[in-house]
Structure formats: structure tokens, C-alpha cells
């Protein structure tokens, strides 16, 4: 009975649109008017994902206070944060071809003039809508469809933040781009972001994409929903490093997909450290022959975090290769889910597909679910998968301890080594070091809490 009662409150609470509105002035100037309107209608029609939906069965949204959520629009946006505070997020430690900070509080953009001259477009989503309406209208919704979930539809309709990176045919960029997407924090604010990464034939680029939070106004629930659309035309090459480090009060849902053409190379490094709860769909469609994709991911969860990653490698053309490895460690009372699927279409002969997930459980109340899947409809393919969940090896710990390294340091060293394999995917030493130190910092926090409770 208690359950039934809870369900009714949940439905009330999750009534759409709640406090969300399609802002007419915004629509009026948007090249995505039709797209946004029909997405809004979809958002009204589609039901909230629940545990009854296969893809959402590990995701518990009942505690999300949806009715309270509101998007910061229009003039209220700039009031979110003083501009000088936003500048404190600027990172100058290395030379980027372009860097972009996108947030409800404003945008800070810098881009190499020569790259712009060569036809590269690198700008925040709202500016892209205004200045490149044809491109945005062509790209938006071509890779991730608004009907993929209620959240995808809401995001398609409402996104004001995000960015466009467009690299024209045969334009090869040597230096990386950096984008920091900062969501509003606290005060039940919701941020919707739409990201378009579009490489024309023979183009190549490196992009570091970081999701984070603005300084929090309050500790209340905060919401982010994002769409990430990646398109690689034939022969294009993209190194994408994505790191999610939202504050712990953020509920985060993303629909991310890359569609890659003939003889493309995509390396996608995906790290998840933040949020209270995350549900991420990370899909790869291999559409052209000889495409090669590598996806490596990591997650390290603490406290009561729940991170749920759903990956798909869809082989839709012959002689395509995909190689996916996710590594995770769960601590304290947190939980992580990785569910993967390799799909091989009947025509995708000579596919080479691999997926694997390796997990370490570092506390008794932490949980991991790692579920690989294969659906192969073609002959003459090489596909395999593996998933492991275990503890840190006792013999490894003892070996390090026998060299004088205290237990917790030994655990940290093993953990850093464990994640090292995944970080190898980025060719950029600075990014690698940065991610390493983020992982170490988070683990050090877990450690110090543990040391305190053990002493106390």
C-alpha cells in the first residue's frame, strides 16, 4: 500500500511541463522553431521513463522533485553569476586552438583566427542558431532523435546551452579545442544543453569536453539534460575526451551518439565522476565501411552516487571495427551500472567488435552491475565481450604493503594503475595527467572520510 501511495505522488510530482515553458521570443528567432515545437509536443506525449522501461530499469527518478525544477531563461540568465566569477574557469595552462565556456551565466569564447578563416565554426549553441541557422537546422536532430525519450524531447525543445564545432572538408586541426559546459547549480535549476560536433569528409580535430557546475547557490536538487550529436563524414578523425564532473546535487541525463562514415577514426574517452544520479546513453553507429572506433570509459563513484552508462556499438556497414572498454570503481554506498550492446546488422560482414567492462568494488555497501550484450545478425564476424566485478586483489595489496606502502596508499596506487589503461586512449599527456589527478583527488577524499570513520 505504501508503494501505491508513493507511486501516485510520483506521478503528480512528475507532471510535465511543470514549471517549464517554451519561450516564444526565443522560438521566434530560432531556426529550430519547427524542431523545438514538435519536440515539445513529444515531451508532452511521452511518458516519464520508469523502471518498467528496459533501458531505465536501474534508474530511480522517484526522488527527483521534478515539479520544482525550472529553467533559467532570458534576462534572468546573466544574473546567475557575476561575469568575473565565470572568468575564474578559464584555463590557460596549454595552447588550445579554441576554448569555450558555456553556461547560463554567459559565454566566454576564444578561437584561433586562422582556424576561423579556414571555415571552422566553434561557438556556443545560441550564437550558432543565430549566425549559422542553416547548419544548425541541418545538424540538430539528425543523429539523436527527440523521440528517444521524454528527456531527449525536452532537451531538443528547451536547450539554450551547448555548442557547435564544425570542421570543413579536409581541414586538419593539430591543436585541441576545449569546451567547458557549466550547468546552473542549486535552487532547483535545470540546464538543457545541445552539442553538435560535425566533421566533414577528411577533417580531423581534437576536443576536450568537460561538464561541470557553476558555484552552487544552494544545496537543492539541480538538473541537467543534454544531447550530444557527433557526425564524422568519410575519412574524418576525431579524438574526443569527455569528462563529467557535475556537483553531487545534480541529476544528469544525456543522450549521446556518434555516427561515423567510411574509413573514419573515432577515439572517445568518457569519464564520469560527478552527479547524484546519471543516466547516459553513449551510442556509436558505424555507418561506413572500414570505420574504426575506440571508446574507453571510466567511472569512480562515492557517497550515494548512482552512475548508469548505457553503451551501444551498432555495426551497420562491412569491415567496421569497434573496441570498447569501461572501467569503474565504486566506493562507500554508491552504485554504478554499465550495460553494453554490440549490434551487427546482416550486411555488416567482417565486423570486429569488442566490449568489456572491469569493475572494482571498494566497499561492502557499494554495488556494480555490468551487463554485456551481443546481437549478431551477420556471418563472418569477430565479436566478443567480457565483464568482471571484483575486489582489489589481496596479493597485489600485500606486495605493495611489503614494500612499505600503507594499505590505503597501496589501494590508491592500484586504482590509479587500473584506470591508467583507459586514460592511455588520449594522446595528450596534459589531459591524461589532468584526468589522473581528478581520479586521485576523488579517491583521496573517499580515503580521508574512511580514515576519519576508522579513527572515530
66 binding other proteins? (CB under 8 A) = no
405 binding other proteins? (CB under 8 A) = yes
- In which residue are the cell numbers 569528462 written? 243
| Shortest Å, Cβ 415 to other proteins | 9
| Shortest Å, Cβ 404 to other proteins | 4
| Shortest Å, Cβ 265 to other proteins | 24
| Shortest Å, Cβ 440 to other proteins | 12
Residue closer to other proteins by CB (options 100, 414) is: 414
Cβ partners under 8 Å of residue 444, min gap 6: 412
Q: With contact defined as beta carbons under 8 Å apart, do 346 and 315 qualify?
A: no
d(CA 354, CA 349): 15
Provide the 10 A C-beta neighbour count for residue 68.
16
From 395, 453, 455, 456, residue interacting with other proteins (rule: CB under 8 A) = 395
Q: Which stretch binds other proteins (CB under 8 A): 110-118, 243-251, 274-282, 395-403?
A: 395-403
352 binding other proteins? (CB under 8 A) = no
399 binding other proteins? (CB under 8 A) = yes
401 binding other proteins? (CB under 8 A) = yes
| Shortest Å, Cβ 145 to other proteins | 39
Report CA Rg, the chain. 22
25 binding other proteins? (CB under 8 A) = no
**Residue 338 DSSP SS3:** strand
Half-sphere exposure of 174 (CA within 13 A, CB side): 2
Q: With contact defined as beta carbons under 8 Å apart, do 40 and 153 qualify?
A: yes
Q: Which stretch binds other proteins (CB under 8 A): 37-45, 185-193, 349-357, 416-424?
A: 416-424
Nearest CA-CA partner of 141 in 153, 151, 130: 153
379 binding other proteins? (CB under 8 A) = no
From 25, 84, 379, 394, residue interacting with other proteins (rule: CB under 8 A) = 394
> Binding residues for other proteins, how many (CB under 8 A)?
24
419 binding other proteins? (CB under 8 A) = yes
| Shortest Å, Cβ 454 to other proteins | 13
From 52, 117, 364, 403, residue interacting with other proteins (rule: CB under 8 A) = 403
d(CA 386, CA 325): 9
**Residue 273 DSSP SS3:** coil
Nearest CA-CA partner of 249 in 291, 284, 211, 218: 218
Nearest CA-CA partner of 255 in 153, 332, 186, 116: 153
Residue closer to other proteins by CB (options 245, 416) is: 416
Q: Give the helix/strand (H/E) hosting 76.
A: none
**Residue 415 DSSP SS3:** helix
Q: Based on the number of CB atoms within 10 Å of its own CB, is 38 exposed (0-12), middle (13-18) or buried (19 or more)?
A: middle
Q: Which stretch binds other proteins (CB under 8 A): 42-50, 251-259, 377-385, 394-402?
A: 394-402
Nearest CA-CA partner of 450 in 219, 271, 442, 272: 442
390 binding other proteins? (CB under 8 A) = no
366 binding other proteins? (CB under 8 A) = no
421 binding other proteins? (CB under 8 A) = yes
Interface contacts to other proteins, rule CB under 8 A: 393-396, 398-407, 409-410, 413-414, 416-421
Amino acid at each position: 500500500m505504501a508503494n501505491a501511495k508513493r507511486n501516485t505522488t510520483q506521478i503528480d510530482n512528475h507532471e510535465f511541463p511543470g514549471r517549464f515553458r517554451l519561450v516564444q521570443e526565443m522560438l521566434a528567432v530560432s531556426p529550430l522553431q519547427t524542431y523545438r515545437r514538435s519536440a515539445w509536443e513529444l515531451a508532452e506525449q511521452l511518458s516519464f521513463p520508469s523502471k518498467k522501461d528496459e533501458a531505465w530499469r536501474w534508474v530511480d527518478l522517484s526522488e527527483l522533485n521534478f515539479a520544482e525544477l525550472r529553467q533559467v531563461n532570458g534576462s534572468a540568465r546573466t544574473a546567475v553569476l557575476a561575469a568575473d566569477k565565470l572568468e575564474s574557469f578559464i584555463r590557460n595552462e596549454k595552447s588550445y586552438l579554441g576554448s569555450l565556456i558555456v553556461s547560463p551565466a554567459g559565454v566566454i569564447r576564444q578561437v584561433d583566427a586562422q582556424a576561423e578563416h579556414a571555415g571552422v565554426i566553434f561557438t556556443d549553441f545560441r550564437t550558432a542558431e543565430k549566425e549559422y541557422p542553416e547548419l544548425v537546422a541541418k545538424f540538430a536532430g539528425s543523429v539523436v532523435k527527440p523521440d528517444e525519450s521524454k528527456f531527449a524531447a525536452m532537451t531538443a525543445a528547451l536547450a539554450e546551452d551547448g555548442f557547435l564545432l564544425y570542421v570543413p572538408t579536409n581541414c586538419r586541426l593539430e591543436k585541441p579545442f576545449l569546451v567547458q559546459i557549466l550547468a546552473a547549480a542549486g535552487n532547483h535549476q535545470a540546464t538543457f544543453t545541445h552539442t553538435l560536433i560535425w566533421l566533414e569528409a577528411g577533417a580531423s580535430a581534437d576536443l576536450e569536453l568537460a561538464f561541470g557546475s557553476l558555484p552552487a547557490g544552494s544545496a537543492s536538487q539541480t538538473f541537467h539534460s543534454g544531447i550530444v550529436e557527433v557526425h564524422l563524414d568519410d575519412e574524418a578523425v576525431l579524438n574526443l575526451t569527455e569528462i563529467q564532473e557535475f556537483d553531487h546535487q545534480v541529476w544528469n541525463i544525456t543522450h549521446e551518439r556518434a555516427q561515423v562514415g567510411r574509413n573514419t577514426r573515432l577515439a572517445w574517452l568518457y569519464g564520469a565522476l560527478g552527479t547524484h544520479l546519471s543516466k547516459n546513453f553513449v551510442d556509436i553507429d558505424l555507418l561506413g565501411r572500414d570505420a574504426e572506433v575506440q571508446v574507453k570509459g571510466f567511472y569512480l563513484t562515492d557517497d550515494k552516487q548512482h552512475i548508469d552508462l548505457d553503451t551501444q556499438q551498432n555495426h551497420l556497414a562491412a569491415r567496421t571495427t569497434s573496441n570498447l572498454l569501461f572501467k569503474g570503481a565504486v566506493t562507500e554506498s554508491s552504485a554504478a551500472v554499465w550495460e553494453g550492446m554490440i549490434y551487427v546488422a546482416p550486411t555488416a560482414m567482417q565486423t570486429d567488435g569488442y566490449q568489456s567492462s572491469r569493475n572494482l568494488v571498494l566497499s561492502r555497501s557499494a554495488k556494480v552491475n555490468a551487463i554485456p550484450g551481443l546481437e549478431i545478425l551477420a556471418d563472418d564476424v569477430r565479436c566478443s565481450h567480457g565483464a568482471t566485478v571484483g575486489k582489489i586483489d589481496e596479493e597485489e595489496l600485500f606486495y605493495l604493503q611489503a614494500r612499505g606502502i600503507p594499505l590505503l596508499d597501496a589501494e590508491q596506487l592500484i586504482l590509479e594503475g587500473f584506470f591508467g589503461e583507459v586514460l592511455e586512449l588520449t594522446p595528450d599527456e596534459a589531459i591524461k595527467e589532468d584526468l589522473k589527478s581528478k581520479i586521485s583527488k576523488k579517491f583521496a577524499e573517499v580515503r580521508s572520510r574512511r580514515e576519519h570513520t576508522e579513527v572515530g
